[in-house]
Copies of this chain bind each other. A is one copy, B any other.
């Protein structure tokens, strides 16, 4: 079993340290760890945010665990040199088309949600976001507009193949959890969305036992705060998923606990190849001060164990240890407590 660790920028390295301690404690036999550069850290060392070495390493492992990328000092660089390009590059190059983001409120932490307790308690969804298509990866550029001024343009598109693939991922998840599937689009305006909707309806025929709804993206945003209990598995394209998954995380109210998996098509000997990362960013303002909450990183590790290494049992151990550590008071500043990064890591290890 091979895992690549990419700590990245800001608080990335320190939360990665804690995840690594948890991983070590599991003593998985035959596990080899690699470490690579990514983001601003990679730009400084190699002149580019996603070095060829890192990509090569990612291609030969079973899973990638990533901290965070992003550094304000890079904001003025040309677009292709900015840290975020490393994320986009990894997704595209590794074919990580399926982004899974669970959003549910942790027991005992309902009060952190900005929503009223009644709604917050019922929030329990999985967002399945397409990650390698849409307006993110279409041609784009500047040209002269009809009136002689400049114009920025981007092509949005989805093919049936792309939609089918991610739809199957979402339908399988819905079938497994017994939840309904809600597909998000803007088919009243966009041809890309109309094809999306038509294709999802086609794929639905293979899953007669999964209840399927279609909802416009504007209404989805509205319903997500109004009545989140309506949603089980939510299927979206890349752009709408970017917005809605952050919105869902905000509704949960504890971004320092939100993990994500980005899965590819490649099957490893133990599961599906994937990249795992917390959804919080690099938080440069608190980096290096033992203030970051490492739990989202540790929960990302749990997702890795489950999806890429087929280690369901270990994944549940880690998730259980996190739950118990939280219950025992290992709350970082983001959760209204004052436990430090290392202290929270210790608490999880103690519970493991």
Binding site for B on A (CB under 8 A): 79, 82, 84, 88, 114-116, 119, 135-136, 138, 140-142, 145-147, 149-161, 186, 188-196, 217-219, 221-226, 239-240, 242-247, 249-251, 253, 255
> When A115-B225, A151-B195, A221-B246 are in contact, do A84 and B156 touch as well, CB less than 8 Å?
no
Measured in the bound complex, the distance between the Cα atoms of B164 and A145 in whole Å is: 14
Residue A251 contacts which of B141, B191, B225 (CB distance < 8 angstroms)?
B225
Residue A225 contacts which of B151, B193, B219, B250 (CB distance < 8 angstroms)?
B250
Across the interface, do B246 and A222 meet the contact criterion of CB distance under 8 Å?
A: yes
Across the interface, do B145 and A153 meet the contact criterion of CB distance under 8 Å?
A: no
Measured in the bound complex, the distance between the Cα atoms of B145 and A305 in whole Å is: 36
Across the interface, do A189 and B88 meet the contact criterion of CB distance under 8 Å?
A: yes
> When A115-B115, A221-B250, A246-B222 are in contact, do A156 and B155 touch as well, CB less than 8 Å?
yes
Across the interface, do A150 and B160 meet the contact criterion of CB distance under 8 Å?
A: yes
Residue A149 contacts which of B151, B152, B160, B186 (CB distance < 8 angstroms)?
B160
CB distance from A147 to the nearest CB of B (A): 5
Measured in the bound complex, the distance between the Cα atoms of B190 and A314 in whole Å is: 40
Residue A154 contacts which of B149, B160, B161, B192 (CB distance < 8 angstroms)?
B192
Measured in the bound complex, the distance between the Cα atoms of B247 and A190 in whole Å is: 20
What are 11 of the A-B contact pairs (CB < 8 Å)? A88-B189, A114-B226, A115-B116, A147-B159, A152-B195, A154-B157, A186-B242, A221-B246, A222-B255, A224-B250, A225-B247
Closest 6 CB pairs between A and B? A152-B195, A145-B159, A153-B157, A149-B160, A222-B250, A218-B246
Across the interface, do B158 and A82 meet the contact criterion of CB distance under 8 Å?
A: no
